[in-house]
Structure 1
Amino acid sequence: MSTPNPPKGIMEPTEQLAIIIPTLTGIVGRIQPAQLDNETPCAAFTVQGVLDHMISGARAFAPAFRGEELGPAMPVQADPEKHPVTEFRQAMVELLDAVNAPGALERTVSAPFGDVPGSVFARFVAFDGLIHGWDLATATNQPFDPPDEVVAAVAAFARKALTPEMRDGDTFAAESETSGGAGRLEKLVAFSGRSL
């Protein structure tokens, strides 16, 4: 696949993730046990399903940023006795540490969609995190207002990097329509294929 270069002056993926991941952790920390079975805008997943997907993805991607072979995203076995934020936080800390490790953004990463520079894959991780953050917030009636600078940086990358082949209806669907008053985040969510 092509590896688009971000416009000059755009936020680095490490800066994006340093904001997105704590924001996500805050949302997860406010999820109530009774909400785990709620449906989300991500059609394939409940709230628990999104959490499991993100945790298993983080655990698979962190080794790739360390230069290890990308392993399979192993299913997460949720412990009903524990709040999901504990496992989520641990997985995200490991991922953020791996992305910030020396050389992580320069090395080639074997991503699910092909070999790409670590910097490109990190931007995909930021894009994925922002969209799933919206999924979780929407499904649990929480506010989600990431900084405009972060949304703009993620959107600038996504609009160059998301190819028609990726819109398989599973990972991403066809872009949905937005109202005239839609903000940056709503436009990005619609671009990813979510229905508003």
Structure 2
Amino acid sequence: MTDITDPRPLYRDALAWVATLMGEVRPDQLTQPTPCDEFDVATLMGHLVATVDRARVIGAGGDPASVPLVATAAGDDGDWTAAYRAAGEKMWVVWDDDALLAAIVTAPWGRVPGQAAIWGYLNETLVHGWDLAVATGQPAEADPALVEAALAVARRAIPASPRGGHVPFGAVIEPAAGAGPTERLANWSGRADRPVIAA
């Protein structure tokens, strides 16, 4: 059974999955749209790096708004995967402290226990990972056990209604027949089922 008080092992697995997806993105795919209307492939990867930086800042007692929504550089060689892994290494220096799980931190959605902040970033990582996979024609399902745990928490933490405004998610989408857990998590976050995006 998943320990819902410590989502860090799940977050590690989600970060590793997304890093693998990033590593398979081709240069000609960087300007393609994604299921997340705000981002194309390149800016989505920049946003994913920024989410990890924000998690680090939150754990260190800082303000997540001090970190831009999208990281604007992937290092000297333009390697988003390396930038993402490096951000993760810095973040875990902070979050390896068990005491942070019960500490009250400032997340973008308010003051919450550290464990709730990590659950939020786990959800964002998986949904945006799905976005990236769909946009670049990669297998879009993460480990089912990982995602089912995240989906169970998301259904409790993110209300089905209302959506919009202070609940920054689109309307829940009815999953397609046979949808896997990652797609169903994306649907819960308001992503359309199985969008057709050229790879």
> Does the pair score TM above 0.5?
yes
In structure 2, distance between residues paired with 1:150 and 1:12 = 13
In structure 2, distance between residues paired with 1:83 and 1:169 = 34
Match of 1:177 among 174, 177, 184: 174
Residue 169 of structure 1: how far off its partner (Å): 9.8
Task: Report the equivalent of 1:34.
Answer: 28
Task: Report the equivalent of 2:6.
Answer: 12
Question: Tell me, what secondary structure is at the counterpart of 2:111?
Answer: strand
> In the alignment, is residue 144 of structure 1 matched against residue 140 of structure 2?
yes
Match of 1:113 among 106, 109, 114: 109
Residue 9 of structure 1: how far off its partner (Å): 4.8
Residue 24 of structure 1: how far off its partner (Å): 0.7
Instruction: Using structure 2 for the length normalisation, give the TM-score.
Output: 0.85
In structure 2, distance between residues paired with 1:118 and 1:184 = 25
Task: Report the equivalent of 1:157.
Answer: 153
Distance 1:82 1:8, change over 3 A: closer
In structure 1, distance between residues paired with 2:36 and 2:167 = 9
Task: Report the equivalent of 1:189.
Answer: 186
Query: Could you tell me which amino acid in structure 2 is paired with residue 90 of structure 1?
Result: A
Structure 2: any 5+ residue segments left out of the alignment?
A: 194-199
Instruction: Using structure 1 for the length normalisation, give the TM-score.
Output: 0.86
Task: Report the equivalent of 1:57.
Answer: 51
Match of 2:83 among 84, 87, 97: 87
Question: 2:21 touches 2:138 (CA, 8 Å); kept in 1?
Answer: yes
**Percent sequence identity over aligned pairs:** 27
Question: 1:99 touches 1:122 (CA, 8 Å); kept in 2?
Answer: no
In structure 1, distance between residues paired with 2:118 and 2:163 = 17
Provide the alpha-carbon RMSD of the alignment.
2.4
Question: 2:140 touches 2:182 (CA, 8 Å); kept in 1?
Answer: no
Task: Report the equivalent of 2:72.
Answer: 77
> In the alignment, is residue 132 of structure 1 matched against residue 136 of structure 2?
no
Task: Report the equivalent of 2:197.
Answer: none
Structure 1: any 5+ residue segments left out of the alignment?
A: 1-6
Question: 1:66 touches 1:101 (CA, 8 Å); kept in 2?
Answer: no
In structure 1, distance between residues paired with 2:72 and 2:4 = 38
Work out the number of aligned pairs and report it: 190
Query: Could you tell me which amino acid in structure 1 is paired with residue 127 of structure 2?
Result: I
Task: Report the equivalent of 1:4.
Answer: none
Residue 68 of structure 1: how far off its partner (Å): 3.4
In structure 2, distance between residues paired with 1:147 and 1:135 = 16
Residue 67 of structure 1: how far off its partner (Å): 2.8
Question: Tell me, what secondary structure is at the counterpart of 1:104?
Answer: helix
Distance 1:97 1:146, change over 3 A: farther
